[in-house]
Amino acid sequence: MYWVFMAPELITAWANRQHWGAKRIYREYKPYYKHWTMVHAHFLQMGGFHVSINDHKGVVDPVAFRALLSQGKIQFPMMSKEEIQDKSKSSAFAKHLLGLQAIWFNLQCFARFDDGLPLTLLEVTTLALVMANVTTIGTWWHKPYDVQKPI
């Protein structure tokens, strides 16, 4: 939590890295499993799938998932995107509302700048933080939020 306040751009970079990792997982499995979405890819990447077989018990990371799947020890999980999102503690409404507030603030700052009015240091700092947060929200749009137990 310390890094959120001291270096929010690191959280944005972390979110981008997770997004591109999930996109790689999505592209890997989408040709074989038509129901696979970015929500599934994020869920796998964050350790959302749990298996219990003889030589592996516990949460499965993407490398172990690929190995167990290729060895035929597990079947591909046939759960819908809605089942995963049901475990998430965030809704599209909340994300849209936050996005609208950020857009409104940005428009106000740009309008003041365009009119030749000065921006305070607090407004400039807030503008930078809002832009970093909008980027983070965009990259984590499909990621389930605060899932407590794996499936």
Q: Which residues contact 118 (CB under 8 A, 6 or more apart)?
A: 112
- CA separation for the pair 97, 139 (Å, rounded): 16
Task: List the alpha helices (DSSP H) in 30-120.
Answer: 38-45, 62-70, 81-87, 92-114
pLDDT digits (tens, 9 = 90+) for 64-112: 899 888 888 888 888 888 888 777 777 788 888 988 999 899 999 999 9
Count CB atoms within 10 A of the CB of residue 29. 19
- pTM metric for this prediction: 0.81
pLDDT digits (tens, 9 = 90+) for 19-75: 999 999 999 999 988 889 999 999 999 888 888 887 767 888 899 899 888 888 888
Residue 1 has pLDDT above 70, yes or no: no
Helices 62-70, 38-45: axis angle to 10 degrees equals: 110
